[in-house]
Structure 1
């Protein structure tokens, strides 16, 4: 193994360890640091529309209400190299191109069903060999990770308790079951 490759692996590992609190602990949008990804406001709106399509609101808040788009931007900014960040920013053009090819409208102007159709079509597409990420599956994975690790979901849906959780050391034991075997 070359020394440069080893240094790169250690650097990526250090970034991963720096973001461990997001994965181990729950998060809220107010607690997230500022993301440093080079995308414009229209792309941010597209990302919000994409995550809303991936996890829509039902009787529980959807990904957009929990501001998972901010989580996705922070993860892309802090955990991935510049090449992936550049491909991420270019992925929005791919989504717009696909929506214009299929419906002759920009992604933001599509109905929910049309957005769903465009994203599903792009989920099935193979990743180009010269690319590091496949944009829509990449966004979907980060959306699911962000949604399931959000404070609201952990506390209200998954009944998660922060470490150290309670310990109930006193419970009835059926002595016949354990001592008369």
Structure 2
């Protein structure tokens, strides 16, 4: 093999190895689907875990099963103003530390502990200190998440078509039907 080619390859490899420590190969990239929010995949997963605690799966699908976290992030991105979006993202970023103050990582807690943690976080009140601002952000984040979880769940296609069928036009009137004979409630628009 030619010595010059070998030295050139060695120089390229050693130069490449010098740049590797400055490269960030973490998989926690910012999601590009949202214009105003800087949300990572791990934060979206945490949001999914929280929404799944608010509406868990049982006989019917839960919030995570019908992709309510995507609805929450779209609503925050499109419907809240810049200050509220910043407060939401600050609360989302501060929530893991709040959960660790309760004893463990949020995913490792039991269902009852998760419920208690979310309820305690919703009741937090903030003041002018940095800890107070963090408490205010966590409270805003959890209350907004709960509101959009319920809204997204109840407005989902699954709920509107399979659980509580939506009827645009009311059916025929039949006055002699007993209430006990009614199968599924019909919600008329």
Asked if the contact 2:89/2:141 (under 8 Å) is kept, the reply is no
Q: Which residue of 2 aligns with 1:19?
A: none
Distance 1:92 1:142, change over 3 A: same
Moved more, 105-114 or 78-87: 105-114
User: 1 or 2 for the larger relative contact order (CA 8 Å, sep ≥6)?
Assistant: 1
Give 1:59 deviation, angstroms.
0.3
Unmatched 5+ stretches in structure 1: 1-33, 174-181
Aligned to 2:141: 135
Q: Cα–Cα, structure 1 residues 127 and 146, in superposed 2: closer, same or farther, change >3 Å?
A: farther
Q: How far did 1:43 drift?
A: 0.6
Give the equivalent residue in structure 2 for 1:45: 45
Q: Secondary structure at the match of 2:166?
A: coil
Describe how 1:1-181 pairs up with structure 2 within 5 A: 34-36=33-35, 37-103=37-103, 105-126=104-125, 128=127, 134-161=140-167, 163=168, 165=169, 167-168=171-172
Instruction: Tell me how far 1:45 sits from its aligned partner.
Output: 0.8
More displaced 10-residue stretch of structure 1: 151-160 or 64-73? 151-160
Shifted more, 106-115 versus 76-85: the winner is 106-115
Greater C-alpha radius of gyration: 2
Deviation at 1:112, TM superposition (A): 2.4
For residue 125 of structure 1, report the CA deviation from its aligned partner: 1.8
How far apart are 1:87 and its partner, in Å?
1.2
TM-score normalised over the length of structure 1 = 0.66
| 1:1-39 residue CA offsets vs partner (Å, 9 max, x unmatched) | xxxxxxxxxxxxxxxxxxxxxxxxxxxxxxxxx433211
- Give the Å deviation of 1:110: 2.6
Question: Normalising by structure 2, what TM-score?
Answer: 0.63
CA RMSD, 1 decimal: 2.4
Q: Structure 2, unaligned stretches of length 5 or more?
A: 1-32, 177-189
